[in-house]
Amino acid sequence: MPGLFSKLSSIFTRLSDSPELPASDRELYTEELLSLDMSYGIVERLLDGKQQPGVTAAAAMKARMKQILVSAPLIEPPKCGILMIGINGAGKTTTIAKLGKWYVDRGFSVIAGAGDTYRAAAIEQLSILAERTGMDMVKAMPGVDPASVIHDTVAAYRHRSKDVVIADTAGRLHTNVNLVNELKKIKTVMTKAMAGDRMATYLIMDATIGKNSFQQAKLFNENIGIDGIIITKLDGTAKGGIIFTICDELKIPVVAIGTGESVGDFLAFDKDTFVEGLFP
Ligand SMILES: Nc1nc2c(ncn2[C@@H]2O[C@H](COP(=O)(O)OP(=O)(O)OP(=O)(O)O)[C@@H](O)[C@H]2O)c(=O)[nH]1
Ligand SMILES: [Mg+2]
């Protein structure tokens, strides 16, 4: 468990042995949890839930946390594809490198597609990251239709017998109808090219932009369909509580978290492991 959850963890450490939460501490706990970006509704549910006789405050808290959190495993190779979507600067391209490394470290071969064809720098960024992490890559000249690049990437995934294909896309606002329609087209083309191989669409969400991101996620989900969320930049908040708020608000599983700028700063997210790690 990275140190960035230490604040969250230190709050729960104090609960361990007491049979229930002392009423006198309730206000303090409420304040502390709110300061970590948990919504008021969640804090209330965590502190006020009914407690079974013989269950310690810590055990009751763990159970309530696991009820709120929603997680799912990352899509499992071989023979699968991932489409990365999100607003500008959320961390899509960086996360492709992290995810690619995660799979490469587990013995799978990965190919990435430079579907952000708006900027030459985006293609260059992915090339450098692909080389660094041992991923293969397909790219085209800037300005080429992104759906055709992703189509060609999936074709290369098949010809070169890769285990995983990951498609990058340009950042876009969820409110820009033309750009959202372009994303729909990319997804349709990729789904067809995958020809029955499993595929997941992951939304990359920047933890530091807080509650603004909920509307964004809802609209992307309605228009494109999201199978999982990767929360980035958790190192930039010191407020791990945002994970609870995101899960509660969206009910879409969190599959991984980003905890820094390096390719290794990445954790697959499992709610049981996460909650157990918060307690001593
Ligand atoms: N601290 C921190 N920085 C991150 C993390 N993930 C990404 N970043 C940084 O966020 C910035 C944007 O990351 P990109 O991967 O380029 O974001 P993007 O979503 O691809 O951006 P566009 O392609 O412009 O839409 C970069 O400076 C990354 O280093 C993270 O988990 N922690
Ligand atoms: Mg990018």
Ligand 1 centroid vs 242 CA: distance in angstroms? Answer: 18
Q: Using the predicted structure, report yes or no on whether residue 50 has a pLDDT greater than 80.
A: no
Q: Using the predicted structure, report yes or no on whether residue 8 has a pLDDT greater than 80.
A: no
- Sign of the C-alpha dihedral, residues 209, 214, 216, 220? positive
Cα separation, 191 vs 104, in Å, equals 23
- Residues 231-249: tens digit of each pLDDT: 999 887 766 788 998 999 9
Ligand 1 centroid vs 223 CA: distance in angstroms? Answer: 23
Task: Extract the tokens encoding 114.
Answer: 């430079």
Task: Find tokens 């669409």 and name the residue.
Answer: 201
Q: Using the predicted structure, report yes or no on whether residue 77 has a pLDDT greater than 90.
A: yes
Of all ligands present, the nearest one to the C-alpha of 91 is: 1
pLDDT on residue 4: 65
Best residue for ligand 1 mutational test, from 261, 262, 266, 267 (most atoms within 8 Å of Cβ)? 261
Cα separation, 192 vs 32, in Å, equals 48
Cα separation, 71 vs 229, in Å, equals 9
Best residue for ligand 1 mutational test, from 84, 92, 94, 183 (most atoms within 8 Å of Cβ)? 94
- Residues 138-166: tens digit of each pLDDT: 999 999 999 999 999 999 999 999 999 99
Q: Where are the alpha helices (DSSP H) in 88-211?
A: 92-105, 120-133, 146-159, 177-194
Ligand 2 centroid vs 15 CA: distance in angstroms? Answer: 42
Domain with CATH 3.40.50.300 in the chain: 80-278
Ligand 1 centroid vs 89 CA: distance in angstroms? Answer: 5
Q: Which value, to the nearest 10 degrees, does the dihedral of the CA atoms of residues 133, 272, 243, 16 take?
A: -130
Q: Could you name the CATH architecture of 80-278? A: 3-Layer(aba) Sandwich (3.40)
pLDDT on residue 259: 92
Measuring from each residue's beta carbon to the nearest atom of ligand 1, which residues come in under 6 Å? Answer: 86, 88-94, 116, 122, 170-171, 204, 232-233, 235-236, 258-261, 265
**Looking at per-residue confidence, does 113 or 11 come out higher?**
113
Ligand 1 centroid vs 91 CA: distance in angstroms? Answer: 3
Q: pLDDT confidence of 171, banded at 50, 70, 90?
A: very high
Q: Using the predicted structure, report yes or no on whether residue 59 has a pLDDT greater than 70.
A: yes
**Looking at per-residue confidence, does 116 or 37 come out higher?**
116
Q: pLDDT confidence of 79, banded at 50, 70, 90?
A: very high
Name the closest-CA residue to atom 21, ligand 1.
89
Ligand 2 centroid vs 268 CA: distance in angstroms? Answer: 21
Q: Contact at 8 Å (CB) between 113 and 232?
A: no
Of all ligands present, the nearest one to the C-alpha of 238 is: 1
Q: Which ligand 1 atom minimizes the distance to the CA of 98?
A: 6
pLDDT on residue 242: 86
Find, among 133, 125, 73, the residue nearest to 99 by Cα: 133
Cα separation, 192 vs 195, in Å, equals 5
Strand partners, 206: 232
DSSP letter at 235 equals G
Of all ligands present, the nearest one to the C-alpha of 172 is: 1
